[in-house]
Structure 1
Amino acid sequence: MADGRWDEDDIPDQTGRVAVVTGANSGLGLETARQLAAHGATVVLAVRSLDRGAAAVEDIASSVPDARLELQQLDLASLSSVRAAAEAIGGAHPRIDLLVNNAGVMYTERQLTAEGFELQFGTNHLGHFALTGLLLDRIVGVDGSRVVTVASLGHWAPFAFDLDDVRAEDRYNRFAAYSRSKLANLMFTYELHRRLVAAGAPTAALAAHPGGSDTELARHVPFSDLMHSRLSALAQSAAMGALPTLRAATDPTAGGGQYYGPDRLFETRGHPIVVRSSRRSQDRGLQALLWARSEELTGVRPL
């Protein structure tokens, strides 16, 4: 980082580390998995579609011939799938050094998870909350271990943070639902960090956001084809968008409770630095409320 700009060349050797990356079949997750594998980690690609996951394994192997890769089916919109995946991953790996909660859905029409929760909140937050809780016994106690959760600039949107209508029965706004899920990702990270510190665990919880990245995540945006043609020139590549996650996951100087994002153009592009999140995301009362509600909804009690 001679020029002060952190990039993939600054990732330290990851040999001997086991990393689990959700949504690793495309976009940010694929690039995150690629770089972790390129630097020596054993990477578990936790994906909804095994066919797409197998294609991702092939893709990574083509650029990283000696990559150590494993494939695990995971549907974050189904808590039974989350439990099965956690059991399989935990059974195969008695220690996990890194969990990257990357997978997500964005701006979908109103849909429900297998348990009847609004899809974006259920997938982006509740699925990852449950997965983290179920894998935590394999992570906590491992020196240098980290849980990195991918948030978004969308968490700044001033929509109501409603934890009562988690099934979106009263009303549904796709943008509000996405914002709530990403705000929840940050609140979860901060609460997890505080609980890990209180427990004296060597595990750090961090968050990151990719800025504006050209990935398929925005395919549900109304008029997405038109928007893509207008905005793709302003968006950075998935490889650049993955850098904040990679820095949070691997930089030896990164600390628990930090939030990484791009350094230029209102955090939409550039190299990763520590950034600030909204005042609401730092509300400890809301964080505790979200944690308790998440335990109630998932039946998982992480700490």
Structure 2
Amino acid sequence: MSARRDQWNPTSLPAQTGRAFLVTGSNAGLGYFASEQLARAGAHVIMSGRNPNRLAAARAAIGRRVPDASVETLLLDTSNLGSVRAAAASVGGRARLDGVLLNAGIVHPPRTREVTGDGNELVLATNVLGHFALAGALLPVLERAELPARMVWLGSISTAMWSYDPVDPQLEQDYSPWRAYVQSKVIAQALGFEADRRLRAHGLAVRSLVAHPGYSVSGRTPGIRGVNEPTRGARFVDNLQAAVTQSKERGAWAPVRALIDPDAEGGTFWGPKGGLRGMPRTARPAALTADPARGERLWAFCEEATAVQWPSDRGSSERRRWRRRSGR
């Protein structure tokens, strides 16, 4: 396996023809480049986002850069549980879905705490709760994939630098923009690992992985009309950090590998080889996020906050019935 990992080429991915993937937050940044890389490999990509105009611009950009791309768009606002339910219902009727990249999120939180219409803190809702609800709702269609489907949760290297134990997930007592961001990533990573433990325990043919993009910045990313248009000042500042940064195009390498590398195992953590930048490989997650007890506690919190419970044994029995009907 190690030799295969050394040979992985993120600029020449294994053919994904006939496979379908959903990417949240596809209109810019990591989500856009992950979508483009998957489409270039031949996959059908469902690009999702909350702004229809930006989503259309991103789809047009992929059409210009990958003329034979197979893509469609889906309106999805992960901060809004009603939007999540509608999007999941739309995708859930498909014959199959091979994977979902849970990428959408707020990187620059508001200066003061904000609450969504569902009553949840905005950053938590966008980066975590919407994805928890979406992934749970998509389990039945993910179970219909020929190969074990995957969900990839987007983490962050910041979780290894700041020890924010999410004892107050909604940040009702001690909100700050940076804490809101890092804590949301701690929770997302913990859920990703806990999801894989639960999927295995219930015998569901879906794997959960976590990936992070290193230190990826817009100023070192190719300019694409309607997708990435940094100012000259932003490019100047970001290029001053060239030794420790990379483009968002390269930042998408680790999540994409976690999603499609046939040797990537459930419950693993992926990121750039150098931590901040480099080729995608397995990494060691922050201990805070890998603790099963904390994962179980945060799982219970998310169930309560979203009023969503994932299918469990029911999902595996449904798959067995489906296999009998289809002769598989």
TM-score (norm 1): 0.90
Q: Deviations over 1:163-210 (max 9, x none)?
A: 4451x3323111111111101111111111011111222211111100
Gaps of 5+ in 1: 217-223
Question: How big is the shift at 1:113?
Answer: 2.1
Q: Which 10-residue stretch deviates more, 5-14 or 206-215?
A: 5-14
Q: Which residue of 1 aligns with 2:162?
A: 158
Letter in 2 for 1:275: A
Question: How big is the shift at 1:137?
Answer: 1.0
Q: Which residue of 2 aligns with 1:219?
A: none
Q: Which residue of 1 aligns with 2:300?
A: 292
Q: Which 10-residue stretch deviates more, 122-131 or 140-149?
A: 140-149
Match status 1:90 vs 2:92? yes
Q: Name the CA distance, whole Å, in 1 between partners of 2:200 and 2:63.
A: 37
Q: Look at both structures and tell me which one has the larger radius of gyration over its CA atoms.
A: 2
Q: Secondary structure at the match of 2:158?
A: helix
Letter in 1 for 2:38: L
Letter in 2 for 1:89: V
Match status 1:37 vs 2:39? yes
Q: Name the CA distance, whole Å, in 1 between partners of 2:250 and 2:123.
A: 24
Q: Deviations over 1:218-264 (max 9, x none)?
A: xxxxxx96964753674211111000011101111110011111112
Q: Which residue of 2 aligns with 1:120?
A: 123
Seen in structure 2, the aligned counterparts of structure 1 residues 159 and 227 have a Cα distance that, compared at 3 Å, is farther
Q: Secondary structure at the match of 1:99?
A: strand
Q: Deviations over 1:107-146 (max 9, x none)?
A: 3122222212111111111110011011111112422311
Seen in structure 2, the aligned counterparts of structure 1 residues 22 and 282 have a Cα distance that, compared at 3 Å, is same
Please list, as runs of the form range in 1=range in 2, the aligned pairs for 1:188-227 lying within 5 A after superposition: 188-215=191-218
Match status 1:183 vs 2:191? no
Q: Which 10-residue stretch deviates more, 133-142 or 240-249?
A: 133-142
Q: Which residue of 1 aligns with 2:223?
A: none
Q: Name the CA distance, whole Å, in 1 between partners of 2:5 and 2:86.
A: 45
Gaps of 5+ in 2: 220-232, 313-328
Please list, as runs of the form range in 1=range in 2, the aligned pairs for 1:1-303 lying within 5 A after superposition: 4=6, 6-91=8-93, 93-109=94-110, 110-142=113-145, 143-164=147-168, 166=170, 168-215=171-218, 228=238, 230-231=240-241, 234-264=244-274, 267-302=275-310, 303=312
Q: Indicate conservation of the 8 Å contact 1:79/1:114, yes or no.
A: no
TM-score (norm 2): 0.83
* Identical amino acids, percent of aligned pairs: 38
Q: Indicate conservation of the 8 Å contact 2:169/2:183, yes or no.
A: no
Q: Indicate conservation of the 8 Å contact 1:57/1:69, yes or no.
A: yes
Question: How big is the shift at 1:275?
Answer: 0.2
Q: Name the CA distance, whole Å, in 2 between partners of 1:31 and 1:165.
A: 30
Letter in 1 for 2:185: K
Aligned length: 292
Q: Deviations over 1:61-98 (max 9, x none)?
A: 1111111111000111111111111111223x231101
- Across the aligned residues of Structure 1 and Structure 2, the Cα RMSD in angstroms comes to 2.1
Q: Indicate conservation of the 8 Å contact 2:101/2:152, yes or no.
A: yes
